[in-house]
Amino acid sequence: MANPGDVLQVPELGVRVEVRRADEAVFEFDVVGRARGFIAAEHVHARSTERHEVIDGAMNLELDGVGHVLHAGQSMEVPAGTPHRQLPHGDGAGRVRVTLHPGGSTGEFLERLAELSATKGFNRFGYPKPVPGAQLIRDFADDGHASKPPVAVQRAFSRAVLAVASNEYRFVDEWDVAAPPEAVFEAISDARTYPTWWRPVYIDVDAEGPAALGKTSRQHFKGRLPYHLHTESTIVRLEAPHVVEADVTGDLSGHGKWTLTPIDGRTHVRFDWEVFADKPLLRILTPLLRPAFRWNHAWAIARAIEGLEPYAQRTARHAAVA
């Protein structure tokens, strides 16, 4: 959240923002420049009362379509829920002090605008590009949103854009294995065993020694789709014989968690997999081929289900003999 003394530059919107006060009750900041684009469009603060005080220059504050020209030393309050817009008046830059009661997520919102400016998230007209715009609606519409179209329509647009643009996948797979948790844990935690039992998905795994907290391994694997993937996994949680978690980077990046639960002499396996497709071709194809990628994951998990149980059973038998 922006703090008092912070200066946020948003040249695409014609302004800089100087934060004066930031707490739960009040958020106050000066807008310096000539507002344009996104921040000059009509909008609504659903929960906050907003006060505008002109320090230098002049502004046209429109409330419900009615304009009010304010000069230095003049101020006006906008009740919560009132459609309004702030426009520059006259020549030159102005300074307008804006105070919101309560502040809500204003600080985070202003920081996001500065971030979009730094990452080229605005178009040449001063409006967010589709994905950043959808993220603004998703993250801040509860506190403030454009007055038109209805906020429900804006949220639907946001969900649709983010669904198409996202390269994120979340999978949860569960099955039972007729083997004790210790044997199943040994197979899952030690990635070196994957090319043996998780075939033909895993082609090669490079790791030094057995599983340990903080240990890294490198994987080469494929699915039914015509591409190979290379990743690096680091174990971030290891609680034998119940939990293994790892962070993954490379062509896929994300987080995987295996949870093993003993049930009547068997082991219930749950695999939570949250991953982003970082390989350039995958990022490009994700919006079009998401169903195919999910099918590909289902095929790979089916191979794990086929191979894990007999491998764990052999491990358990060897342990019993030893």
- What's residue 289's pLDDT? 61
Average pLDDT over residues 282-299: 72
Distance CA 247, CA 253 (A): 8
Note the pLDDT tens digit of each residue in 38-85. Answer: 999 999 999 999 999 999 999 999 998 899 999 999 999 999 999 999
Distance CA 318, CA 77 (A): 78
Instruction: For domain 168-321, give the CATH number.
Output: 3.30.530.20
Q: Where are the domains of the chain?
A: 7-165, 168-321
Distance CA 262, CA 241 (A): 10
Asked if 189 and 205 count as a contact pair (C-beta separation under 8 A), the reply is: no
Confidence of residue 178 (pLDDT cuts 50, 70, 90): very high
Cis ω before 241 (30° cut-off from 0): yes
Check: pTM over 0.85? Answer yes or no. Answer: no
Average pLDDT over residues 22-40: 94
- Domain 7-165, what architecture? Sandwich (2.60)
- What's residue 23's pLDDT? 86
Please list the residues that pair with 27 across neighbouring strands.
22, 100
Using CB atoms within 10 Å of the CB of residue 216, give its burial: 0 to 12 exposed, 13 to 18 middle, 19+ buried: middle
Q: In this model, does residue 284 exceed pLDDT 60?
A: no
**What integer best gives the mean pLDDT of the chain?**
91
